[in-house]
A and B are shown apart, each in its own frame.
Chain A
Amino acid sequence: KAGVTQTPRYLIKTRGQQVTLSCSPISGHRSVSWYQQTPGQGLQFLFEYFSETQRNKGNFPGRFSGRQFSNSRSEMNVSTLELGDSALYLCASSLQGRSGMLGDTQYFGPGTRLTVL
């Protein structure tokens, strides 16, 4: 079974631009979560989608948004990029993701490394 895939793997943008990152979950997985990883802040949760609905959101500004499609694929968008948005963006999928499934294991993709100049 193919793992979580993320595209593109690397991206270079300039301040003020916007960017869209894509994530394809493991086949059959319905929940997709996004994380930002930076050397200073570590791994921080951005948001989680289940059945095309955002179910959970981390403490990030409104410039960060996402969506999920009916095939569970997800995109995240960052508008008006800032230098501090340079990071590794990781996507994770899990099988069910219902609120009762605390033990639902998340499987991560390789990430998209975004550099903002």
Chain B
Amino acid sequence: AQKVTQAQTEISVVEKEDVTLDCVYETRDTTYYLFWYKQPPSGELVFLIRRNSFDEQNEISGRYSWNFQKSTSSFNFTITASQVVDSAVYFCALRKRDNYGQNFVFGPGTRLSVLP
């Protein structure tokens, strides 16, 4: 069965600190996609990044960076120089094909609080 684990339930940092959100996934498939979403207090999930299982290149987008390591089944997310606006719940998700089609499996989320 597929599963996504985000071991950090809540993280608090002070503004300008760097913070890494961990994501570990389980799947037997060789073809799958990994996603990160941000959910601010407004409730809407905001898409951040998508990565397929064949692309292990790390990615940087502004203050955000992602480290994908298949060997450890991890897809970690780092925010550099955090800001108060980064405060949100962050979800890691796995998408793979199953007997019924394809489906997202979300992790439980990590609540990040960035304090001024």
Interface residues of B in 36-73 (CB under 8 A from A): 37, 42-47, 50, 52
Q: Does A2 contact B (CB under 8 A)?
A: no
Quick one: closest A residue to B44, CB to CB?
A110
Residue of A nearest to B53 (CB): A102
Alpha-carbon separation in the docked complex, A23 to B107 (Å): 24
> In the bound complex, how far is the Cα of B108 from the Cα of A92, in angstroms?
18
Q: Are A102 and B96 in contact (CB under 8 A)?
A: yes
**Least Cβ–Cβ distance between A111 and chain B, in angstroms:** 5
**Known contacts being A102-B33, A103-B50, is A45 close to B101, with CB within 8 Å?**
no
The number of chain A residues with a CB under 8 A from chain B is: 24
- Measured between beta carbons, the chain A residues less than 8 angstroms from B101 are 48, 55-56, 99
A88 (CB) vs chain B CBs: closest residue:
B43
Contacts of A45 in B (CB 8 A): 103-105
| A108: contacting residue among B31, B37, B102, B109, CB under 8 A | B37
**Given A43-B106, A48-B103, A55-B101, A102 and B43 touching (CB < 8 A)?**
no
Shortest Cβ distance from B29 into A: residue: A102
Give the secondary structure class of A's interface.
Answer: strand
Complex Cα spacing A111 to B32, Å: 26
Q: What is the CA–CA distance of A106 and B36 in the complex, to the nearest angstrom?
A: 11
User: Which residues in A have their C-beta under 8 angstroms from that of B107?
Assistant: 42
Tell me, yes or no, whether B97 is within 8 Å of chain A by CB: yes
Using A56-B100, A56-B101 as known contacts, say yes or no to A43 and B44 having CB atoms under 8 A apart. no
Q: A92 vs B33: C-alpha distance in the bound complex, in angstroms? A: 17
Q: How far is the CA of A33 from the CA of B107 in the complex (A)?
A: 17
Q: A76 at interface (Cβ–Cβ under 8 A)? A: no
- Rounded to whole Å, the gap between the CB of A3 and the closest CB of chain B is 8
Interface residues of A (CB under 8 A from B): 33, 35, 42-43, 45, 48, 55-58, 88, 90, 92, 99, 102-103, 105-111, 113
Known: A43-B104, A55-B100, A106-B104. 7 other contacts (CB 8 A): A43-B109, A48-B101, A55-B101, A99-B101, A102-B96, A105-B35, A107-B47
